[in-house]
Structure 1
Amino acid sequence: MLAREFMTEDVLTVHPDHGFNRVEIMAELKHVRHVPVVNEDSELIGIVSIRDLLGHLSNAAASHFAPIREVMSKDLVTASPDSDIKEVARLMRDRKVGCVPIVDDGKLVGLISERDFLSLIDTL
């Protein structure tokens, strides 16, 4: 099975200048743990996780309105829409990440998360 057949396409994203409060609200409303950060051209430039938010907010001087760019992860693990999902699963395991953004020509086209794999197992 290819990533394009398995990925979530309707992915919530944020801009690097958005404040943490926007990500917190989005995460609560949609029950997501990872939010890709994209620029004006929908190019993936980072990802922010709930863990990133909690780490930042544990600092007493942290602001809920600080820009996402301050704590987003820039060392990204990505795959293409034509990647085999077994390879995506290995990437997640080996790099210890909870999701893999699916990128085509630098643009975010989807996301595969641990939750997606759990849903797949549930159908077996």
Structure 2
Amino acid sequence: MGIKSFQGKRDVHQEKESAQILVSDYMTTRLITFKAEDSLDHVIEKLIVHNISGGPVVNDENELIGIISETDCIKHISEGKYYNMPSDTNNTVGKHMVRDVDTIDKNMNIFDAAFKFISSRRRRFPVTESGKVIGQLSQKDVLKAALAVRGNTWK
């Protein structure tokens, strides 16, 4: 007589579907935002105080109109120093921000968002709903999601 398996009957539906991890699960909702009329000095101070590398620029209705980053501020500073020019009195966010901003949907899978980071070479994506900023996803947020998933599924 052969050896019988003591594992019991195998259930083909035993593996449960893993729930998708969405951008909305990891995006930052308490944002530091800027206005087009803010000075670059104000932006630089906020970036340093809050230890962030950039943020969305919004109008009075909280609609996304651009994004400002450390790189944008450094470009302004370096251009003035290179030409030995005094600081421009009209150094506003609106003059130096990037207006063509890629956004991301809150219902996108976090790993699809990771691919978007890689292909676009961006450090952050504003999350909008009906044109209004509701959050922001950074590369660091994707890393946090990867650690959470690894703790549950990766060996």
Which residue in the other structure is 1:18 paired with?
A: 38
Change (3 A) 1:7 1:40: same
Match of 2:4 in 1: none
Equivalence for 1:82 = 107
**Cα deviation digits, residues 19-68 of structure 1 (max 9, x gap):** 00111111111100011100000001100110111011111234376110
| Greater relative contact order (CA < 8 Å, ≥ 6 in sequence) | 1
**Aligned partner letter, 2:96:** V
Indicate how the Cα distance of structure 1 residues 70 and 85 shifts in structure 2: closer, same or farther if over 3 A, else same: same
Three-state SS of the structure 2 residue aligned to 1:73 is coil
Residue of structure 1 aligned with 2:78, choices 58, 81, 87: 58
How far apart in 1 are the matches of 2:89 and 2:138?
Answer: 26
Q: CA deviation at 1:89?
A: 1.4
**Structure 1: where are the runs of 5+ without partners?**
none
User: Which of 65, 71, 92 is 2:117 aligned to?
Assistant: 92
CA distance, structure 2, for counterparts of residue 21 and residue 58 of structure 1: 14
Task: Quote the Cα distance in structure 2 between the aligned partners of 1:49 and 1:24.
Answer: 9
1:101 corresponding residue in structure 2: 126
RMSD between aligned alpha carbons? 1.5
Aligned length: 124
Whether the aligned pair in 2 keeps the contact of 1:92 and 1:98 (CA below 8 Å) is: yes
Percent of aligned pairs with the same amino acid: 24
Relative to the length of structure 2, the TM-score reads 0.74
- CA separation in 2, counterparts of 1:3 and 1:63? 39
SS of match in other structure, 1:12:
coil
- Equivalent position of 2:61 in the other structure: 41
| Matches of 2:51 and 2:147, distance apart in 1 | 19
Aligned residues of 1:57 and 1:63 also touching (Cα < 8 A): no
Q: Normalising to structure 1: TM-score of the pair?
A: 0.92
* Cα drift, residue 114 of structure 1: 1.3
**Contact 2:54/2:68 (CA < 8 Å) preserved in 1?**
yes
- What residue ranges of structure 2 are gaps of 5+ in the alignment? 1-20, 151-155
